[in-house]
Structure 1
Amino acid sequence: MSDAESKDQFCFTTGEIALLVHDLNIPAVARTREGVRSTALEDLPVCLCRLAYPKRWIDVAGMFGRAPPSTLCHIFYYVVDFLDKNLARFLFFDTSRITKNISRYCAVIAAKEPSSIGGEWGFIDEIIRPIYRPNKGQQAVYNGHKRVNALKFQTVITPDGIIAHLFGPVDGRRHDLFILNESKRKDFLHNNSAFHNKLIYGEPAYGCTKVFCCPYKGCRINTPQKELNKAMSSVRVSVEWSYAEVTKYFLFLDYKRHQRAVMTPRATLNNLGGFFTNCVTIVNGCNTNSRYFRCKALSIWRLTQALSSKPTSIISSSKLTLH
């Protein structure tokens, strides 16, 4: 398969896939719970192919030389389970990478918007992922703002275009502040002096503290405050671009008929989408965010170093409450 075709089908070239297989420590030969044997260079492409577009397994069985097509489904969930146990440290607040680069992040945001507050290093928001209407507990996942059944994920985006924090899922009805409290990031940041007076900018719900800042609110704000809100809004929109990047490369995550709250590991798939989007950003050298802020992402060499390091944390459990 040519690199162009590989990139179209899997979002990575054959060489990049081989590099990821090596650094993710995917077993050279694997056996699923159903007894299906596969190799590492087949496992990862099956996972990427599924996430890239909502195809039927029968449509891609010929490409992988597999029969019956259900064997691909077994391989896919084997890879999903394996990666879920090994990639958490890259998505649930990557503290090591952030603290090393936090001064650089503050500098590029200030350079892009000189009238900003000063000290901002990232942007926080919640993303609403629509799901198929559940048979039970619909009121728990129904989001009145978007008028859709959905799960919510909390993300923090840095100026280099990397998703530095991904937490969820949480019921679609929950408020942004509830999700922040559940993630426990607020307490962590307040207790870590490295983040004091280094700010994450978000919506008014987050308030203004030593580690968070938000727009001025109310109908009586003065002209300088309005100008500051406008200036910060122009850079905060970058958090939305990262959401678009995830579904641009991994469209399966936006196909709600396959996103069933109980039957599908929605949290894990969304986490993998975020991780692989970060990988795409790194191998490409940039994305919309990094070009906007002129802030280069990690090099592929540093990514391989990070992937080879010892895991230090796990993804937090789901906060979904179906009744």
Structure 2
Amino acid sequence: MNIFDLIDALDVPEIITTPSRYKFDAVEAFCLTLARFRSAGDQSDLCRMYHHSQSAIRSKVINFIVLYIDEKWKHLLDFDSNHLLHPENLTRYAAAIYRTGAPIDSVWAFLDSYNGHKFQALMLPNGLVGHLHGPYEGRRNDNYLLRESGLLEKCAQYALRPGSCDETPLIDRYFQLYGDAVYPISPYLISPYYGDRSEEQQRCNNALGTVRVEVEHGFGLIAKMWPFLNAGWKMRLYYSLVGSYYRTGVLLTNALSCLHPNQTSLAFDCLPPTLQEYFHE
């Protein structure tokens, strides 16, 4: 990990003065934040290790960095049609997934959701999370998140296949997401065949299921990299920065995957953008 490259790409201020007048330089503040995210333990451990009071670490510098990163860069996790999810890149992603064994050439990303503080996410074949929406209460189902996110409306706008037009049949007009069977079928989203299936349909399910296994490594990388995000007992949806913490963790994971392509990227032979390309205004 190159700390200085990350600080530069994230545009972290050189000197940070918190509302309570604690002062940190960018390297110290950023490293304290990484240390917090790397541990699900008590913050008293960080206090002893880094010789700061618990109030300075907990509610001042770490939250400052988290909120700064979230506010400045969260647009990259909406639908970054200017770069990461530009239509030309969707074409590249669909080709990579098809080369890896998908039985159709229209799937460009994999849709999933997380329980607990519920988020909806898209994993791209380059190993990056291309969209994140949430959090919601765990009782909300996946289709509720899908409606609230407006993701399919964005797909209708940006996921057009090259050369398609209004006369092109809907089934051939768009690239598609692939999700669990709980999701409804649409021109922008497909899911496994269920019920009585033909042999061909079962082969299609098996092939897409095998390909999907590769992207699960990408989703798992976030939890593995940042144990703090798994410490659900430390966070309450309406009383802590759950959304900001998780979005920041995803952005940091994406940043590291830009520096060092992860297992998903290598499996699909689909390189992520450079750090400088990914973090754009």
1:109 to 92, 97, 105: 97
2:106 counterpart letter in structure 1: G
2:193 match: 216
1:292 match: 267
Is contact 2:81-2:158 (8 Å) kept?
no
1:256 to 225, 229, 232: 232
- Aligned partners of 2:110 and 2:265: how far apart in 1? 13
2:166 match: none
Q: What is the correspondence of 1:1-323 to structure 2 with a 5 Å cutoff?
A: 12=1, 16-66=2-52, 68-73=53-58, 74-96=60-82, 97-99=84-86, 100-113=88-101, 116-128=103-115, 150-192=116-158, 194=160, 196-218=173-195, 220-284=196-260, 286-299=261-274, 303-307=275-279, 309-310=280-281
Is contact 1:166-1:271 (8 Å) kept?
yes
- Aligned partners of 1:193 and 1:230: how far apart in 2? 25
**What SS does the aligned partner of 1:206 have?**
coil
**What SS does the aligned partner of 2:85 have?**
helix
Q: Which runs of 5+ in 2 are unaligned?
A: 162-172
Q: How has the CA–CA distance of structure 1 residues 305 and 227 changed in structure 2, closer, same or farther, with 3 Å as cutoff? A: closer
1:273 counterpart letter in structure 2: G
1:247 counterpart letter in structure 2: A
Is contact 2:159-2:175 (8 Å) kept?
no
- Percent of aligned pairs with the same amino acid: 25
1:263 counterpart letter in structure 2: Y
- Aligned partners of 2:225 and 2:191: how far apart in 1? 30
- Aligned partners of 2:246 and 2:202: how far apart in 1? 36
- Aligned partners of 1:237 and 1:183: how far apart in 2? 24
Task: Give the structure-1-normalised TM-score.
Answer: 0.78
Q: Which runs of 5+ in 1 are unaligned?
A: 1-11, 129-149, 311-323
Q: How has the CA–CA distance of structure 1 residues 89 and 72 changed in structure 2, closer, same or farther, with 3 Å as cutoff? A: same
- Aligned partners of 1:205 and 1:56: how far apart in 2? 38
- Aligned partners of 2:278 and 2:199: how far apart in 1? 46
**What SS does the aligned partner of 1:237 have?**
helix
Q: How has the CA–CA distance of structure 1 residues 202 and 263 changed in structure 2, closer, same or farther, with 3 Å as cutoff? A: same
1:293 counterpart letter in structure 2: F
Task: Give the structure-2-normalised TM-score.
Answer: 0.89
More divergent stretch after superposition (227-236 vs 190-199): 190-199
Moved over 6 A (4+): none
Number of aligned residue pairs:
267
Aligned-pair distance for 1:171? 1.5
- Aligned partners of 1:183 and 1:227: how far apart in 2? 31
Deviation per residue, 1:64-100 (Å, 9 max, x gap): 342x232112111111121121011221122222223
**What SS does the aligned partner of 1:208 have?**
coil
**What SS does the aligned partner of 1:180 have?**
helix
2:71 counterpart letter in structure 1: K
- Aligned partners of 1:23 and 1:204: how far apart in 2? 38
Q: How has the CA–CA distance of structure 1 residues 193 and 19 changed in structure 2, closer, same or farther, with 3 Å as cutoff? A: closer
**What SS does the aligned partner of 1:98 have?**
coil
1:203 counterpart letter in structure 2: D
- Aligned partners of 1:178 and 1:118: how far apart in 2? 28
* RMSD of aligned Cα (Å): 1.7
- Aligned partners of 2:113 and 2:214: how far apart in 1? 13
2:170 match: none
2:164 match: none
Aligned-pair distance for 1:57? 2.8
